[in-house]
Amino acid sequence: MDASTLNAQLEKHLRVSTFPVGIRSLAPGEPAPPKAKRPLQHLGVKVAICQGIGFARRYGWTLAMGGEDLSCPIAKAVFGFAPRNEYYTSGALADGMYASCREAGARFEEALAKYEPGETGLVVAGPLGRIDFVPQTVLVYGNSAQVLRLLNACLFEKGGAIGGEFSGRGDCSDIVIRSHRQQKPQVILPCYGDRIFGMTADDEMAFTFPFAMAEQVVKGLEGTHAGGVRYPIPVYLRYQAEFPKSYQELEKLWADPEAKDRG
């Protein structure tokens, strides 16, 4: 299944408000896809990874981001574009903001999935339906019900549950690196930076799965749809409402017009 076909199925079953995204980490020296924009060169600004993903899912642009394109220090460190020096590993970045002390801050940094220095040269993100590269990871932002549909689809064949790790920080690491490393679906809780710089809304979550699972996910979406699990989720309407007593009195009068006179 190609990316465009997968995209059509995701949009059909999920009705998401922004484009599903295809993501690929390129090896050092590997050229960017022909359609890709480099933020510093083509846009004149440096960006955060979450911001670049925002371009992909909202504008429909493909962005290729290397170290020189990034404004976010956390992204530079975890993607291996800048040294993870003693200041970074000490927990100083989170101390006083996310963490009560440097020791707690250091554990935040340790928890983030990371690329080794020189492991990747560019991170590419583009709209799944129009990309000119084969993605490693598929990313979908949606509300909790749309994310639920994706989770249902991924579990359709085998059942069980999907686990997850949440630190509330550095979700670009979860989206790109952990997805690439673990090769399994995951629910993503957008971090604070994603909400500020990526413009992620309060009612949005995200979900990733390996592109290699495309046929399995589509089969799961179709199977659960056939079973009655769909989006938009229907509300239960086959009931009779109860109204205020004054309304009920009118119903009684309609049923027995002479009742008032007998009273």
For 96, the token pair is: 């006083």
Under 8 Å CB-to-CB from 226, ≥6 apart: which residues?
none
pLDDT mean over 144-165: 96
Give residue 258's pLDDT.
77
Q: Is the peptide bond before 190 cis (omega within 30 degrees of 0)?
A: no
Strands, sheet with 205-210, edge to edge from the N-terminal-most edge strand: 63-65, 122-127, 21-26, 137-142, 205-210, 186-188
Pick from 52-61, 209-218, 250-259: least confident: 250-259
Q: Classify 81 as helix, strand or coil.
A: coil
Judge contact between 161 and 29, C-beta under 8 A: no
Dist CA 181 CA 190 (whole Å)? 19
The amino acid at residue 127 is P
Under 8 Å CB-to-CB from 230, ≥6 apart: which residues?
13, 149, 224
Tell whether the model's pLDDT for residue 259 goes beyond 70. Answer: no
Which of 119, 193, 191, 139 is closest to 23 using CA atoms?
A: 139
pLDDT mean over 7-16: 98
Q: pLDDT tens for residues 104-139?
A: 999 999 999 999 999 999 999 999 999 999 999 999
Q: pLDDT tens for residues 78-91?
A: 999 999 999 999 99
H or E element in which residue 141 lies: strand 137-142
How does the average pLDDT of the chain come out, rounded? 96
Residue 260 banded pLDDT, cuts 50, 70, 90: low
H or E element in which residue 255 lies: helix 245-255
The amino acid at residue 14 is L
Q: pLDDT tens for residues 35-44?
A: 999 999 999 9
